[in-house]
Amino acid sequence: MVRPVRLDGLARRQARTAWLLLLPMLAALAIVALWPLSRTIWFSLTDATLSDLSATAYVGLYNFVALHTDPDGW
């Protein structure tokens, strides 16, 4: 059985400092990568067009079903 490693005070402070230094990078990554990805997933579930992104209606998986059932889609 493997016993968990206990960190002494210095190692704990170093680990906390490392996480504090990583926080700005993780926040930037969330803004740069996760926000556009989530918007893309949301727009794929609506009837949004590039000419007007504000007037959208939720259509669910209809876009994906239509893509797979339309013979011109392939």
* pLDDT for the residue numbered 66: 87
48, 56 in Cβ contact below 8 A? yes
Sign of CA dihedral 10, 15, 20, 24: positive
Q: Is the pLDDT of residue 18 over 90?
A: yes
Looking at the whole model, is its pTM more than 0.75? Answer: no
Residue 32 has a pLDDT of 94
- Whole-angstrom distance, CA of residue 41 vs CA of residue 15: 35
Paired with 49 in beta bridges are: 52
Residues 5, 6, 7, 12, CA torsion sign = positive
Which pLDDT tens digit goes with each residue over 30-68? 899 999 999 999 999 999 888 888 888 999 999 888 888
- Structural domain spans, the chain: 9-73
What's the confidence (pLDDT) of residue 17? 96
- Which residue has better confidence, 20 or 70? 20
